[in-house]
Amino acid sequence: MGALFQEQFADLFAHQLTPVVSDPSTLSTLAQAAASFPTPYPIHLKVETGMGRLGLTQEELAGVIGSHRFPNSLQLEGLMTHLADTDGPATDATQQQLAQFNEAIKIVTSGGFRVPLIHAANSGGTVRFPEAHFSLVRPGLMLYGYHTLPSSVVVPDLKPVLSLRTCIAQLRIVQPGRSVSYNRTFTAKRPTRIAILPIGYADGLSRRLSNRGYVLIRGQRAPIAGLVCMDMVMVDVTHLSGASVGDEAVIIGRQGEEQITANDIAEWTGTISYEVLCSIGPRIPRQYHSS
Ligand SMILES: Cc1ncc(COP(=O)(O)O)c(C=O)c1O
């Protein structure tokens, strides 16, 4: 659903992926590239209705659809748009976008096309605008059990399902006056037990958590001590007498009675839960559990 470049066409065809096409010139280069295929290659068209991002204008859509101009080598399988303000306090901007999208659907259907897949709704649209459901919805954030909807909206019972965990690699006592991590931003005021965790900002643990975030160890919060490093972070476990090498440390998730959510980290770092969740780096192994 992102930007599409000619250099990607070979991979697209090799893996039989369905692209979203957002401008007339890509439509014609893709049509040429697909010209030798025995059957038309399926695509979705994206129309711009108010996000100010990728997508054909209504005029461009009318141009590529009208007067049998749509390429024979392609099949118009889907029509989509993206909603910009489904989690804002007001609903009028979304309603205007949906009105424009309905116009786009009319352009396509009156051009003689039967488009099986019509879609517009992100998480907010799925919850708040039933008229945006069309034939499929595209929730992202909500799949992780989070939302950014205003408190006036009745939200389904969502449960955060992602957890990010590591374990203690080493423990050391830092004596008063000695410091922890780069640039000496944390200096021990008392004999301080420091746990070293093998996760850092290269893994998505924001450097803005330095000296202000927490992790969970043995069911309790342990504050981050000093600057978060690229591959490691240090936490103060002085109050957790039993903490040992190998203990689980929860960055996001629940441990015992305590929980740290992506919303908490977003608040500590001045961002939104989306950014926290999608910053988790590629070298963190993903494990999928069914409950
Ligand atoms: C095209 C498109 N559809 C759907 C989504 C999902 O949005 P959300 O995470 O708000 O549900 C996104 C998110 O960036 C998107 O860019």
Across the chain, which has 291 residues, the per-10-residue mean pLDDT values are 96 97 97 97 98 97 88 97 97 98 97 96 97 97 95 93 97 98 98 98 98 98 98 98 96 97 97 96 94 70
Q: Is 221 in the pocket of ligand 1 (CB under 6 A)?
A: no
Q: Which CATH superfamily is domain 164-278 in?
A: Lyase, Ornithine Decarboxylase; Chain A, domain 1 (2.40.37.10)
Q: Is 277 in the pocket of ligand 1 (CB under 6 A)?
A: no
The predicted-structure confidence for 240-284, as pLDDT tens digits, reads as follows 989 999 999 999 999 999 999 999 999 999 999 999 999 999 999
Separation CA 238–CA 186 (nearest Å): 14
Q: How far is the CA of 122 from the centre of ligand 1 (A)?
A: 5
| 142 CA closest ligand 1 atom index | 11
Q: Which residues make up the CATH 3.20.20.10 domain(s) of the chain? A: 6-144
CB 174 within 8 A of CB 167: no
Q: In the prediction, which pLDDT does 284 show?
A: 97
| 82 CA closest ligand 1 atom index | 1
Instruction: List, in order, residues 6 or more apart from 220 with CB less than 8 Å away.
Output: 239, 240, 256, 258
The residue to mutate among 81, 122, 142, 144, having the most atoms of ligand 1 within 8 angstroms of its beta carbon, is 122
Which architecture does CATH list for 6-144?
A: Alpha-Beta Barrel (3.20)
User: Which residue is associated with the tokens 């096409």?
Assistant: 21
Q: Is 137 in the pocket of ligand 1 (CB under 6 A)?
A: no
Q: Is 254 in the pocket of ligand 1 (CB under 6 A)?
A: no
Q: In the prediction, which pLDDT does 86 show?
A: 98
Instruction: List, in order, residues 6 or more apart from 105 with CB less than 8 Å away.
Output: 79, 115, 118
Q: In the prediction, which pLDDT does 278 show?
A: 95
pTM: 0.91
Q: How far is the CA of 106 from the centre of ligand 1 (A)?
A: 24
Q: Is 82 in the pocket of ligand 1 (CB under 6 A)?
A: yes
The residue to mutate among 118, 126, 138, having the most atoms of ligand 1 within 8 angstroms of its beta carbon, is 138
Angle (deg, nearest 10), helices 58-65 and 92-110 = 10
Q: In the prediction, which pLDDT does 182 show?
A: 98
Q: Is 108 in the pocket of ligand 1 (CB under 6 A)?
A: no
Q: In the prediction, which pLDDT does 68 show?
A: 77
| 46 CA closest ligand 1 atom index | 1
Q: In the prediction, which pLDDT does 33 show?
A: 98
Q: In the prediction, which pLDDT does 143 show?
A: 95
Q: In the prediction, which pLDDT does 290 show?
A: 85
Q: Which residues make up the CATH 2.40.37.10 domain(s) of the chain? A: 164-278
